[in-house]
A and B are shown apart, each in its own frame.
Chain A
Amino acid sequence: MSETLLSVRDLEVEFDTYGGTVKAVRGVSFDVAKGETLAIVGESGCGKSVTVQTLMGLIPMPPGRITNGTATLKDKSILNLPAAEANKFRGVEIGMIFQDPMSSLNPTMTIGDQIAETLRVHRGKSHQEAFGMAIELLEKTHIPEAAKRARQYPFEFSGGMLQRAMIAQSLACNPSILIADEPTTALDVTIQAQILELMLELQRTEDMSIILITHDLAVVARMADRVAVMYAGQVVESGSVDDIFYQSAHPYTLGLKAAMPSNTHDRDKSLTPILGSPPDLFQPPAGCGYCARCPHAMKICAEHLPEITEVGDEHHARCWLQHESAPTIEMLHQAGG
C-alpha cells in the first residue's frame, strides 16, 4: 500500500438525546492512502456520515461527544482541535461535498462569491482575485459559461450543476482528501454518471484521495479501490473492492449483495431480503450488531463482540465465523443451528 494519508483508530462517538445516549460510532478504524478511493458503505443509521463529520469537526459538541479514538492526517491529530486550529485544515486539507447541494449552499450568495469566500478566508486573496479563481474552478468542473454562471444564485442551477459547483468549492484549497457524502444520491442516473466521471477525472489531475460515503453498491463498484462496510456503528468488513465483491466474508456484505438485482438477475429468482431491522443504538447489543438478522448466527454471536479477523491480505471481517475455531456455514446448518 502506498503512503497513508489519513488514519482513524477506534473512533467512538455518542450523542446525548432526550431518549438517552445514542452510540452512533462504536470503534471505527480505517486508513486512506494517497490517491486512492475508500468507499464507506452501509444503510441509514449505520454511522457512516457521523464518522466523516466527526473527522471534519462538523459534529456539534454537545450533544455529540468523542469518547475514544484517534484520527491523524499526515501525522497530525485532527480530533478535538480548538476552533482556530480546526479551521486551518477543514476545507484546506480535507474538502467535503454533501448529498443535497441545494441546502448546503447559501441561497443568498452567488455561486462565484461562495467559492471566492473560501479562497479569501483560507488563502487571503483579494475579492477580485478570488472571484477570478472561482471562475477557473467552475471551468475545471466543466460548468459551461463559467464566468456568467459564477454570477448566478443556487436557485438558477440544476441539481447536477450545483453538485459541480460544490465540487469546485471543495477543490478551492487543493485538498489532499475529498470526502463525498452520498454525492449522487439525489441525482438521476445520467447525471450521476457525469458527476462520478468528473470525480475520477479530478482525482487524477488534482492527485486527491477520495472518501466516498454511499449505500449504493453499484457506485462502489464503479469508484472504489478499497471498501469499508459499516453496520450498527462498526466496520464489519474491509478490503479491496474485489475482495468485498468476490470474496465477501461477512454475512451482512453477502446479504446486501443478495438483496439487490444484478443486471442479469433472472426474473424467476426472487431477491433475498435481509429480514428484521438494525439494532437500537441506545442499547447496543453486547455481541455482534448483525446477530439478530444473521442467517448463520451462533450462540457466541449474541454474547461476545466478534474480533476483527484477517481473512486475506488487507482483508478483514468482524465475524465469529471467520475465527480459526469456528465451524463452516455448511457445518452450522447441518447441525440444525
Chain B
Amino acid sequence: MVALTERGLRDFDWQTAVLAILISFFGVWQIHNAVPSENYWSKQIFGIVIAFIAFVVVAFTDYRRLIDAAPIFYVGGLILLILVLTPLGVVINGQKAWVRLPLVGQFQPSEFVKIPTVLMLAKYFGARKSGILTLREALVGGAIFAGPLALIMLEPDAGQAITYMPILAAMLFLSGIKIRYVVIGTVLAAVMVPTAYIVGVKTGKIKRYQQERILAIIDPDRVDPRGYGYHTIQSVITVGKGGISGIKGDPETSQSVLKFLPEPQTDFIFAVTAENTGFIGCVSLLLAYALLLSRMIASARQASDRAGMLVIMSIVCGLAFQIFMNVGMALGFLPVIGVPLPLMSAGLSAILSTFIAIGFVVSVRMRRFVN
C-alpha cells in the first residue's frame, strides 16, 4: 500500500473521486425526493461514507498485488454465492439474492463478486503474450466467467447476470479477439435474442410476467395498464411529467410519493430524478456519467500494464452497460429488470461495490508511471 505521502496525494485522481461523490450525493437528494417519509436517504449517506473509505483504501493499494491474490478473492466470491443458495440466503421479492452473515449483516454477493471476477479474468488475460486470442484462451476465460454467472442464475437473478456480460465481452474484445468473431457474435446476438424470445414463449420458459414486461416496451397501449406493464407505463409518465425543468410546487403529489411509481428509490431512481429535475437535471446527470467514463477510459489508455487496462475497461463497460439498461428501462424502451443505477440507486451493496470498482480504476491510474 502506498503511504499517504505527498506524492500519493498528488497522484490521487481527484477528478474521478469528486465526480463519483457528486453523482452519489445527487442520488441522495433524489432518494429523499422518492420517499421523503423514510430514512433511505440518510442510510445512503452512511453507505457513501463507508464506500468512500473503501474507495480510498483500494485506490492507495497496489492493484497488482490484489491481482496477484485474485484466485483467493475469486474462490471467496464463489463461496459467498454458494452461501446465498444455502439457508443463510434471504429471499426478497421472490429472489434468493441476499445473504445474512454474522457481524457483516445483510448484503448482495452478486454485486461484489463482479470485482473478483474482473480481477481473475484480468490476471489470466493480462499474463498472456501479445497476439491474436486463441480459442483455448477464450475457453479458459469463459470458464472463469461461467462459475459466478452460473451461481447467480441459480438464485435466479437474471438482471444481475446480465450485468456480468459486458465484463467478459470487454476482456475478450481487448485481448485481441479477431474482429470477424466480434461481428459474428454481434450478428448472432441480434438473431438469437428475438429467436430465443419466441422459442421461450412457445415452450413456456419465459414466464407470463416476463412476456408482459417485454410487450409493454413494444406496444405499451395494448398491455393492461394495471398489469405487468404498469411499471413501464408509470415510469414513462413520471419521466414525461418532469418536463424541461422538473415539477414545481407540491412534492406531496409526486408520482413516487403517491406510490404510482414502484421501487422509486432503487430501480426507478432515474424516473424520480426526471420528475424532480426535468430534462435539464437528467442531461446533466448523463453528462456527469459521460465525464466519469471518459476519465476512466483515459486512465485505461495510460495504464502501465495490460491487466490494469483490462480491469479499468471491464469496469467501464460494466458501468456503461448498467447505466444504459437502467435508464433505458426508466424511459420505457428496455424491459423491466432489476438493475440498479450506479452511484444513484439506494442500497449499500450497490454503492459499496461501485466505489470499490472505481477505487481499482484510481489505483491503476496512480501507478501509471511505475514499472
Does chain A bind chain B? no
